[in-house]
Amino acid sequence: MSQNLSNKIDSFIEQALNIQLNQQGRLPLTIYDTEWPSECYTSTVEEGQQVSWKPVLQTDNYNLCHDMFDRLELALEFKIHEDIKTWFGRYWADPIPATSQWGDLSLIFIWNEKDCERLRGNLLGHLLTKQKQKRPATLFFACTEPDGEKFLTIDNMTGEVWLEQPGKKPVMKLASSLENFLDELTPKPIPDLEQ
């Protein structure tokens, strides 16, 4: 795990929470779902009620994420770039919006263990498609907003951050690393999930 990247992610999350509290005066709200538990919930409320949430550092769960990537590497028969492991193994969170010189983005995180498995399936499907197309392996970590038609990926060989469109070659290199890319982002307030 890259300590520099971990520190950058921590700094971004802290900045996102500060912007949220300064502009909204409170944490974001989501719908409490007993079938979709998470350490991110700040309290327990009735099923279907709004509850505040915040990103939570994954403490004992590195093994969970590490195991997920081990199984992915076994299925694909190649190593996954450490930056993507660090990204998804650092925080439990819902997507976090950000803006950059390239437009608005939604940064993808994992909410709970079930979400980790869903992510594994999505990454596997993405990587198998890349193999069929005989294109370099990339792993997504964000999508464009408001349309979500493009996504941001890490090149598995180089660690570079690219803008991609599904089924096509990467469109544009955005940064030489995820660490550098995070320097170009400004978090936005996190929208509430309505009942």
Q: What is the pLDDT of residue 65?
A: 73
pLDDT of 176 above 90: yes
Q: What is the pLDDT of residue 66?
A: 74
Q: Is residue 27 part of a domain?
A: no
Q: Is residue 77 part of a domain?
A: yes
Q: Is residue 43 part of a domain?
A: no
| Residue-level length of the chain | 195
pLDDT of 166 above 90: no
CB 104 within 8 A of CB 98: yes
Q: Residue 62: pLDDT band by 50, 70, 90 thresholds?
A: low
Q: What is the pLDDT of residue 47?
A: 92
Q: Is residue 51 part of a domain?
A: no
What are the DSSP calls for 43-105, one per residue? Answer: S---TTSEEEB--EE-STTHHHHHHHHHHHHHHHTSPPPHHHHHHHTTEE-S-EEEEETTEEE
**11/87 Cα distance (integer angstroms):** 13
Q: Residue 76: pLDDT band by 50, 70, 90 thresholds?
A: confident
Q: What is the pLDDT of residues 103-162, one digit of tens each?
A: 999 999 999 989 988 998 899 888 888 889 999 999 999 999 888 789 999 999 999 999
Domains contained in the chain, number: 1
Range of the domain at 120: 57-187
Q: What is the pLDDT of residue 67?
A: 80
Question: Quick one: what percent of the chain has pLDDT higher than 90?
Answer: 68
Q: Is residue 8 part of a domain?
A: no
- What CATH number corresponds to the domain at position 168? 3.40.1580.20
Q: Is residue 136 part of a domain?
A: yes
Q: What is the pLDDT of residues 87-101, one digit of tens each?
A: 999 999 999 999 999
